[in-house]
Structure 1
Amino acid sequence: MQYLKNFIDGAPVGPETPEFRDVITPYTGEVIAKVPVGSVADVEATVRSAAKAQPGWASLPVADRLRHLRGAAHVLRSHVRELAELESREMGKPVPLAEQFVSAAIDGLLSSADQAESYPFIADVSAPAETSCTVVERMPLGVVALVVPWNFTVSSILGPLGPLLAAGNTVVVKPSEKAPLSASRLAELLGLPPGVVCLVHGDARAGAPLVDHELIALAHFTGSVEAGRSVGVAAARRLQRSVLELGGNDPVIVDAGVDVVATAKAVAMSSFINSGQICTSSERVFVHREVAEDFVRELVAAAESYPMVSAADHVGLGPMVDDAQRGTVHAHVTEAVVRGATVRCGGEMPDRPGFFYPATVLTGVTPEMRIMQEETFGPVAPVTVVASFDEALALANGTSFGLAATVYSHDERNLRRCAELNAAIVWINEWQGGGVNMVYEPWGLSGVGITGGAASFDAATRPVSIVTPSA
């Protein structure tokens, strides 16, 4: 049995308190490893290591820091399969799908290094008529707590890591106790100077003291609304920054005049990929009545093409991360049916080992149902038929969440209104995608803090203006 260790000063270190909890593979429900529950002492040792390393890391020229990051990316390239298999074992993502996301995350790390080369860490902002010279230097914040979720461990670490490290910060990673295997291996593979990236394992017994530590200058958190509130409160209490990406209940609008076959396949993918365990999964579908009958028929057909599969399969659904998450999904479906919704496919607990749940399509849902108001985070597509684009917009904005939204339409008048959606990102006639300079901030309960492009470097630095008399 593997007993996981923290990663401190560039090496694995056992926990101060030898108390562990099970890591369970959702494919069978078997225990595959033991992870420390975490403690204040573990957090203290990890943060102190990062704090000790930070001045030396920040003193390196930017070019040297970027050389380290690119070297880390090069090493990770040869371990994509290994990291993907670990993600699959710990949370159920099929290995081929995990490989795609791990590879994309490494690309993102390299992209961050490229962006850092043109980011104005030092900029002369003096105006011609001024009698003084003003230079703005973007200084590192110090030690950053990076608390990541279980659904995309490697991506959630590497995405923020590039700007944070390029700016001269050091980072303490706290992975989810549900999916700690890939994070442990990633920390070892990065090969950065000791203390630059540390890792502390645990549940709230590690997470709470980490984000509340006096040496943490920024808490970067991805996870639930409830936990995110606690992180934000801890940061506010110390008058420090936080970046919070929280829950979503993302809408997709299907307008009249679309290709129903292609659109249904696209919506199925955005609803069912990774068993719906993506923050930006499509969780509410609003379809124009002119195409509704054909669209629903094609969506059901698409859903039935997503079988429950083993880790090695390319197309299909892996299990939910654990039985509790599967229970939440089924409870949302059951409550909707009791209140009048119709199951068009799926919707039943499968009689097989593991925490699987089938691709499910519901019709006849109404706005007050939990499945329409809360984050389901599972392979379920609840469909509402609407009479107009106006009605779809109003219903899409009818929750407290605002992470992303998708619109399928060829009506230019309607497309011009997409910015009215309460969302950080709006995709038009596709799901996912976007350039390296994309910048966004969640709306409502979906979070706080601007991310992407130069904004990620802004969030990782503190501007200092140096003013001197002109010669």
Structure 2
Amino acid sequence: METLQHYIGGRWAEPAGEDVVAVVNPATEETFAQFHVGGADDVDRAVAGAVAAQPGWAALTVARRVELIHAWADTIAAHAAELAELECREMGKPVGIGQSFIAGAVAGLKAAADQALTYPFTETVTGTDAGTADAGTGPAGGRTDIVRHPLGVTAVITPWNFPVVMVLGALGPLLAAGNTVVVKPSERSPVSTVRLFELAAATGLPPGVLSLVLGDARTGAALTEHEDVQLVHFTGSVGAGRAVGTATGRRLSRSVLELGGKDPVVVDAGVDPVATAQAVAFGAFINTGQICTSMERIYVHERIADEFVEALVAAAGTFAVGDGLDPATMLGPLVDDRQRDTVRRHVEDAVRKGATVRAGGTVPDRPGYFYPATVLTGVDDTMLVMTEETFGPVAPVTVVASFEEGLAHAASSRYGLAATVYTDDPDHIATAARLPVGVVWVNQWQGGGPERLYEPARDSGMGATGARAAYDAATRPAAVHIAATVPAAATAPAADR
């Protein structure tokens, strides 16, 4: 059994804590790795190493920092299959699916780092105030430069469902802007993150620029409450996100929070019901529904509802359940028994309240935390499956009389992460753009490029991210005003000469 370690100041180190966490393969229920929970002392050492490394890292040119990030990204790409297998063993994601996501994350890391090459770390403000002379503060004119400095030490706390992707997605702007970073992965899936840091150590990133602490919620709390951490980038549950926001707010530092989602899908009358159902099945079931932006509420126009549901049920049947190491597997296990219990409870609650199971809906009689692709109809907003984050392979369908009714349902949630609409009506597209969410996808789930920026709404988080917004969050602006002239030496009165 592998025993995992911290990576602090460029060295691998045993955690100081005594509590041990087992990492369990959710397909076999077998423990294959373990680690000691990091405590406040471990966090102090990691942050101290990051503090020491930050001035030297920030002193490098932007181009050099980007070059080092690219070298790490290229190494990750060469080990994508290995990393995907580790993810499969620790949280169940099928290897082929994992590789595709990792490839996308590597490309995203490079693109995010490259944005530093054109980001205005220094820019001159036009329209300098001409009233300074009248105010008696000196001659008018001159210029004001806005200089954006790195924050210093930042923290990234990642969830268990995308161990590699979420680390890479956060690090590009933080590192390229000149910050150092301490990463705390989820205790449920730390193994692939440890491997990421082994690859970082082998590709020349200076010691202390990236540090890793392993642990649970206690470790995360010690990191978010540390006085030398200037920004916390957190992805996880709403409850934990509130705790992070409270901790950072108390010491007047920053946080970027991407929290839960209950993403809606609105299917208009004019689309192809079969092709759209197949697209929705992918969005609902991929990664066993364990994606913050999984399609968790589906509203379909009554004119195409029968054909859509029939095609959705057929598509659910193509998601073969099994160990993600098997190339034939489309639907791996849920991360653990606790997560499967949540999915089962939501489905049972819906059935008890009148919903109909059209596909799946029962726990397979086999080892592992499996649950089949499930389609429910006859659901309503009294059911947990339509109001709480399920985070599993469940597609609940509500039939609506109009696109407008579907949008109204889509907007009626305490979450506001993303939404997807399928329509060929330009007016409906314009209306959908006003949904109170961070991202609206029209006719393509997960669409968009590296220039995309957004901010979650409602309980789904706070803090804009992506493109320039990510660099704005990773830097602190300071205004530097340079006067037009240097003050002349004072002349003594004639009587005193």
Secondary structure of the corresponding residue to residue 303 of structure 2: helix
Q: Secondary structure at the match of 2:452?
A: coil
Distance in 2, matches of 1:69 and 1:301, equals 44
Q: CA deviation at 1:55?
A: 1.1
- Residue 314 (structure 1) shift: 5.1
Cα separation, 2, equivalents of 1:247 and 1:74:
31
- 1:298-339: per-residue Cα shift (whole Å, max 9, x none)? 000001110102223255100000000000001000000000
Give yes or no for contact 2:28–2:367 (8 Å, CA) kept in 1. yes
Hey, what does 1:363 align to over in structure 2? 377
Amino acid in structure 2 at the alignment position of 1:148 = T
Share of identical aligned residues, percent? 55
Residue 304 of structure 1 is matched in structure 2 by 317
Secondary structure of the corresponding residue to residue 327 of structure 2: coil
Partner of 1:144: 154
Q: Number of aligned pairs?
A: 471
- Within the candidate set 249, 261, 279, 1:236 is matched to 249
Aligned partner (choices 234, 246, 255) of residue 268 of structure 2:
255
- Listed one character per residue, the Cα deviations across residues 2-55 of structure 1 (whole Å, up to 9, x for unaligned) are 111000011211011243111001011100100222211111111111111111
**CA–CA separation in structure 2 for the residues paired with 1:118 and 1:180:** 34
1:76 touches 1:189 (CA, 8 Å); kept in 2? Answer: yes
Which one of the candidate residues 228, 240, 249 is aligned to 1:227? Answer: 240
CA contact (8 A) 1:26 1:321 kept: yes
**Which residue, out of 148, 165, 168, partners 1:155?**
165
CA distance in 2: counterparts of 1:107 and 1:470, whole angstroms: 45
Describe how 1:15-164 pairs up with structure 2 within 5 A. 15-127=15-127, 131-164=141-174
**SS of equivalent residue, structure 1 residue 120:** coil
- The answer on 1:313 being equivalent to 2:327 is yes
Residues 74 and 295 of structure 1, relative CA distance in 2, 3 Å threshold: same
Query: Deviation of residue 129 (structure 1)?
Result: 7.6
1:192-211 aligned at under 5 Å gives the runs 192-211=205-224
Distance change in 2, residues 1:56/1:106 (3 Å): same
Q: Which one of 355, 375, 384 corresponds to residue 389 of structure 2?
A: 375
Residue 336 (structure 2) aligns with: 322
- Secondary structure, in 3 states, of the residue corresponding to 1:377? coil
Deviation at 1:367, TM superposition (A): 1.0
Does the 8 A contact of 2:128 with 2:143 survive in 1?
no
Unaligned runs of 5+ in 2: 131-140, 486-497
Assess if the C-alpha contact under 8 Å between 1:367 and 1:395 holds in 2.
no
Whole-Å separation in 1 of the counterparts to 2:221 and 2:57: 26
Over alpha carbons, which structure has the higher Rg?
2
Question: Per-residue CA shift, 1:128-168, capped at 9, x if unaligned?
Answer: 78502111111000111100000001110111101000101
Distance 1:188 1:143 in 2: 21
Shift of 1:187: 1.1
Provide the C-alpha distance between the structure 1 equivalents of 2:402 and 2:484, rounded to a whole number of angstroms. 62
Alignment of 1:414-429 (within 5 A): 414-429=428-443
1:440 aligns with 2:440: no
For residues 177 and 29 of structure 2, the distance between their equivalents in structure 1, rounded to whole angstroms, comes to: 41
Task: Return the letter of the residue paired with 2:378.
Answer: G
Secondary structure, aligned partner of 1:347: coil
Q: Does 1:350 align with 2:364?
A: yes
Q: CA deviation at 1:127?
A: 2.6
Q: 1:129 to 1:8 in 2, by over 3 A?
A: closer
Paired letter, 1:119: Y
Partner Cα distance (1:272, 1:313) in 2: 17
Q: Is contact 2:334-2:392 (8 Å) kept?
A: yes
- 1: distance between equivalents of 2:346 and 2:36? 32
CA contact (8 A) 1:245 1:448 kept: yes
Structure 1 contact 54–196 (Cα < 8 Å) conserved: yes
Within 2, Cα distance between the matches of 1:466 and 1:205? 41
The aligned amino acid for 1:217 is Q
1:47-68: CA deviation from partner (whole Å, max 9, x where unpaired): 1111111111111111111111
Greater mean alpha carbon deviation, residues 217-226 or residues 104-113: 104-113
- Aligned partner (choices 182, 191, 198) of residue 181 of structure 1: 191
Aligned partners of 1:202, 1:150: CA distance in 2, in Å? 13
Q: Distance in 2 between matches of 1:440 and 1:368?
A: 30
- Pick the aligned partner of 1:469 from 483, 489, 493: 483
TM-score, normalisation: structure 2: 0.93
Measured after TM superposition, the shift of residue 281 of structure 1 is 0.4
Whichever residue aligns with residue 222 of structure 1, its letter is T
**Closer, same or farther: CA 96–288 of 1 in aligned 2, 3 Å:** same
* C-alpha distance in 1 between matches for 2:484 and 2:69: 38
5+ unaligned residues in a row in structure 1: which ranges? none
TM-score by length of 1: 0.98
Secondary structure (helix, strand or coil) at the match of 1:72 reads helix
Contact 1:101 1:155 in 2 (8 A): yes
Distance 1:421 1:367 in 2: 18
User: Which consecutive aligned stretches of 4+ in structure 1 deviate over 2 angstroms post-superposition?
Assistant: 126-130
Secondary structure at 1:354 match in 2: coil
Residue 417 of structure 1 aligns to a residue whose secondary structure is: helix
Mapped contact 1:35–1:180 kept (Cα < 8 A):
no
Give deviations 1:41-99, integer Å, cap 9, x for gaps: 11111111111111111111111111111111121121111111111110000001110
Aligned-partner Cα distance in 1 for 2:196–2:308: 42
Give the whole-Å Cα distance in 2 for the aligned partners of 1:44 and 1:27: 36
> 8 Å contact 2:128–2:144 — kept in the other structure?
no
Alignment RMSD: 1.1
Q: Distance in 2 between matches of 1:109 and 1:9?
A: 22
User: What SS does structure 1 have at the residue aligned with 2:57?
Assistant: helix
Distance 1:250 1:195 in 2: 38
Aligned residues of 1:343 and 1:361 also touching (Cα < 8 A): yes
SS in 1 for 2:266: strand
Could you say what secondary structure the match of 2:345 adopts? helix
- One-letter amino acid matched to 1:446: S
Q: What amino acid does structure 1 have at the position aligned with 2:248?
A: A
* Separation in 2, partners of 1:30, 1:430: 38
